[in-house]
Each structure stands twice: as structure tokens, then as C-alpha cells.
């Protein structure tokens, strides 16, 4: 049987290192990589978690839990300076790439949102659609270990799926992929293309990618970043302290793609830059859902149901009580 055009989707998983904590330089690199992927026929292009402007590797390497540390304060301020202000248009150049090339882009950003005061950051998965519009911003629900000394916990506002041709695409960040209810929320929205963003580590992606694919009977694209000492610019605050006795890789990649039967399409790519390209066939999903569909015919909503709060969290709720208000 011939594959219908809408059933074909070419996905590109881009494994690169940021120019660490340099937003403008990293964004230029991301734009160039997205263009290259589009030229190779990719319709969806995915980058790793926190790639723009980089993962907070300094915390575990510089006594990050020390209270009132001048080192931690200086690095946090630098992180804020290089974080992504979506309201301020920091992704406009990438949005233009998506629009010009008619591609969907998913990228992990350190978001500095104005709706939370502008001085805290979130690990956000940003989806830009083929029109060049930001379709979704999912703020990571729970930072892990040392991340909690840098990132704020997110909310359910971005637990959504988006149609890309015949597919329903959803995205989770790093260890959110281990959260059964977060996955279930996306499954129940019809997800059949699961995107997992990771900062970089084959130890994370090798097992969970195939597990989610088998559990959900979906295609799963896990995309990681890289980070080597040479990726950290010379003018980075406290660079010598961060890199003291550093390994050759702070993040070693692990980008990979699995099919809806849990088998490998692309095995993990480790310790090198690269672009993994796969043509996905939606019919394979329909075939595998014949014997198991987690929130469909195998679900029991009369026994087990999930409630999701999609409200964007805020510290301020303004109420107009009428009347005149003096300045």
C-alpha cells in the first residue's frame, strides 16, 4: 500500500554544542543548523534542552549550594543576561527561519519570562510552527537535582500537542519524560510523535527513548546537546573554576530516534556533532495501536482518570474593582 503524503514526515534531530552562555552566538549557530536541516528535506527540526544559551554546568562544579556565594551570584546574573526573553523578541531570527523554510522547530531555551517578574528562569521547550509563530512554550514542571538552584518549576500550560501533517507532536524536557502522568497527559491529547529534549547524556536517552516508544506506540525523538571545555568562551565568568579538572565532555550527546514498536530507527549518537534524519510513516502508528493504545481502547476512564491544570502560574492576579484609582 502506498504511503499517503500526509503520512510522511521527515524529522531532523540536531546534536550540537552551544557557544555556552552566549545567546546571540548560539542563536546564530542554531539558525544555520535549522537552515541546513531544511535543505536536507527536514520538515520538523529539533534541538536539545537548555541549548539556548546553555545548561547550568557551573553549579555542580563550583559548590553551587553555598549560600550567599559571590561566585553563584555572579554566574546567576550572567545567566539572566543571556537567557531568552520571548516577549522581547529574542527568537525572531529563528522564527524567520521557520517561516522561510516552512519547517517546525522545537528548541530548549532558558526562558526569562516577564509574566513572572523577569528575574527568574525556566527550562522551556519552545515550539515554532511552519508559519514562524510560537505555537507553544512548555516550562519544565520539575527541575532535577542541581537545576533547582537555577531554574524555577513550571506549570501545565504547555502540556499540549500540535498537529504536523498526520502526526500529533508533544514535547517534554529531560526527566519529565520519566513522569508517568506528564506522559499520559500528552497521550490523552492524541500524541503519536513524542519529542524528548535532553541537555546531553547517553545514559539518559538509551533506555527511556525505546520505553516511551513501546509504551505509547509512538515515534520518539530524543535530542541532546553537547558540551566540551572548548565550547565555554574565554570571557565566561569564573571559567577557570568551572573547568578545573573537567572531563573531556560535560555533556556527551545521546540523540536517537525510536519507532512505535520500540525498535531503533537511529541509535544514540555520542560524543560528536550531527544531524539524524528519519522519514516517519504514520501508518506504523496505526498498526501498533491495534493491540495497545494507552489512553484509547486500553484506557479505563471509569477507573483511572487524569486532571490537568493548564493555567499559567502567576504571582499576581489583578482585579478591577471599578472606581477611580489615584497614581
Annotate 15-45 with DSSP letters as a single string. E----TT-HHHHHHHHHHHHHHHHHTT-SEE
> Tens place of pLDDT for every residue, the chain, 327 residues?
556 699 999 999 999 999 999 999 999 999 999 999 999 999 999 999 999 999 999 999 999 999 999 999 999 999 999 999 999 999 999 999 999 999 999 999 999 999 888 999 999 999 999 999 999 999 999 999 999 999 999 999 999 999 999 999 999 999 999 999 999 999 999 999 999 999 999 999 999 999 999 999 999 999 999 999 999 999 999 999 999 999 999 999 999 999 999 999 999 999 999 999 999 999 999 999 999 999 999 999 999 999 999 999 988 888 876 655 555
For residue 270, which phi and psi values (nearest 5 degrees)? -125, 135
Distance CA 317, CA 223 (A): 37
Distance CA 307, CA 243 (A): 44
Distance CA 253, CA 271 (A): 6
pTM, entire model: 0.94
Q: Which set of grid coordinates corresponds to residue 102?
A: 516552512
Evaluate whether 31 touches 94 at the Cβ level (below 8 Å). yes
Q: Which set of grid coordinates corresponds to residue 63?
A: 559548590
Question: Which residues does residue 106 pair with via DSSP β-bridges, in sequence order?
Answer: 46, 127
DSSP character at residue 149: G
Distance CA 204, CA 254 (A): 8
Evaluate whether 48 touches 200 at the Cβ level (below 8 Å). yes
- Name the CATH topology of 7-288: Nitrilase/N-carbamoyl-D-aminoacid amidohydrolase (3.60.110)
CA angle 254, 180, 121 (to 5 degrees): 65
State the pairing for strand pair 226-227/193-197.
unpaired
Per-domain residue ranges of the chain: 7-288
Residue 254: CB atoms within 10 A of its CB come to: 27
Identify the burial level of 127 via C-beta atoms within 10 angstroms of its C-beta, where 0-12 means exposed, 13-18 middle and 19 or more buried.
Answer: buried
CA angle 251, 20, 69 (to 5 degrees): 95
Evaluate whether 91 touches 111 at the Cβ level (below 8 Å). no
State the pairing for strand pair 226-227/219-223.
unpaired
CA 204 to chain CA centroid, nearest Å:
14
Outline where 133-252 has alpha helix (H): 180-188, 202-216, 239-242
Amino acid at each position: 500500500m502506498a504511503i499517503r503524503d500526509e503520512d510522511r514526515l521527515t524529522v531532523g534531530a540536531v546534536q550540537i554544542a552551544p557557544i555556552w552562555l552566549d545567546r546571540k552566538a548560539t542563536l546564530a549557530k542554531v539558525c544555520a543548523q535549522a537552515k541546513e536541516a531544511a535543505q536536507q528535506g527536514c520538515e520538523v527540526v529539533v534541538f536539545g534542552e537548555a541549548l539556548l544559551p546553555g545548561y547550568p554546568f557551573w553549579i555542580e562544579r563550583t559548590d553551587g549550594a553555598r549560600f550567599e556565594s559571590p561566585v553563584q551570584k555572579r554566574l546567576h546574573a550572567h545567566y539572566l543576561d543571556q537567557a531568552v526573553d520571548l516577549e522581547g523578541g529574542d527568537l525572531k531570527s529563528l522564527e524567520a527561519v521557520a517561516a522561510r523554510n516552512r519547517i517546525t522547530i522545537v528548541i530548549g531555551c532558558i526562558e526569562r519570562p516577564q509574566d513572572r517578574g523577569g528575574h527568574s528562569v525556566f527550562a522551556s521547550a519552545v515550539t515554532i510552527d511552519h508559519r514562524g509563530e510560537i505555537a507553544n512554550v512548555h516550562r519544565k514542571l520539575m527541575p532535577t537535582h542541581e537545576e533547582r538552584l537555577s531554574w524555577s518549576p513550571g506549570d501545565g500550560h504547555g502540556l499540549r500537542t500540535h498537529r504536523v501533517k498526520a502526526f500529533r507532536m508533544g514535547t517534554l524536557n529531560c526527566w519529565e519524560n520519566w513522569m508517568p502522568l506528564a506522559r499520559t497527559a500528552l497521550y490523552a491529547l492524541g500524541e503519536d510523535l513524542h519529542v524528548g529534549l535532553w541537555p546531553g547524556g547517553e545514559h539518559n536517552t538509551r533506555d527511556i527513548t525505546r520505553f516511551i516508544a513501546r509504551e505509547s506506540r509512538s515515534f520518539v525523538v530524543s535530542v541532546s546537546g553537547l558540551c566540551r571545555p572548548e565550547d565555554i568562551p574565554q570571557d565566561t565568568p569564573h571559567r577557570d573554576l568551572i573547568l578545573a579538572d573537567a572531563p573531556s565532555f560535560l555533556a556527551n550527546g545521546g540523540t536517537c530516534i525510536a519507532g512505535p514498536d520500540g525498535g531503533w530507527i537511529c541509535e544514540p549518537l555520542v560524543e560528536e556533532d550531527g544531524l539524524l534524519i528519519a522519514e516517519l510513516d504514520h501508518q506504523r502508528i496505526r498498526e501498533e495501536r491495534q493491540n495497545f493504545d494507552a489512553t484509547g481502547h486500553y484506557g479505563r476512564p471509569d477507573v483511572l482518570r487524569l486532571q490537568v491544570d493548564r493555567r499559567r502560574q502567576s504571582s499576581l492576579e489583578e482585579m478591577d474593582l471599578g472606581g477611580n484609582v489615584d497614581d
